[in-house]
């Protein structure tokens, strides 16, 4: 089996490493969150998610509520934008032992899950992004990282 170097990200799925399988790996540790201000973690409803594997996922939107936040992807170098995602999803899948499980993902975990499962279907965040919000990672860090989505949207309206 070929070894792969896995870059830092919140998830990775087989199409990103040249495999045609329905397997995704998800993790969002406290370490990843250390540089994010508490208020932004709270606004994003972001809490640590332990490493786990999902195989052949089927997603159902549990709520009609959608939230918007910036996303990027290891598949699209140096690009970020605001993406609306469901606040809660139900994921029926197999775990790493091929046992059937159901995941009730909420908040940021729901966002990560939707992002990774989109990749398995051949979609990337650019397919859903609010086009006017597209920016480089450098400009995101410089202008938008510590702003609320409402502040970003207001700034984009005024330009």
Asked about 45 being catalytic, the answer comes back as no
| Catalytic option among 116, 137, 138, 151 | 116
Token look-up 């207001």 returns: 154
Q: What amino acid positions are annotated as catalytic residues?
A: 116
């Amino acid at each position: 089996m070929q070894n792969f170097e896995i870059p830092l990200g919140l998830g990775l799925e087989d199409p990103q490493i040249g495999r045609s399988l329905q397997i995704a790996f998800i993790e969002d540790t406290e370490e990843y969150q250390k540089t994010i201000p508490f208020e932004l973690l709270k606004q994003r409803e972001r809490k640590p998610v332990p490493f786990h594997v999902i195989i052949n996922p089927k997603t159902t939107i549990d709520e009609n509520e959608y939230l918007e936040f910036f996303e990027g992807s290891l598949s699209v170098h140096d690009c970020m934008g605001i993406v609306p995602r469901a606040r809660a999803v139900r994921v029926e899948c197999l775990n790493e032992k091929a046992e059937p499980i159901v995941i009730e993902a909420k908040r940021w975990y729901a966002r990560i899950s939707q992002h990774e499962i989109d990749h398995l279907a051949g979609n990337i965040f650019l397919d859903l992004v609010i086009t006017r919000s597209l920016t480089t990672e450098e400009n995101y860090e410089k202008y938008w990282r510590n702003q609320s989505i409402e502040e970003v949207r207001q700034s984009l309206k005024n330009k």
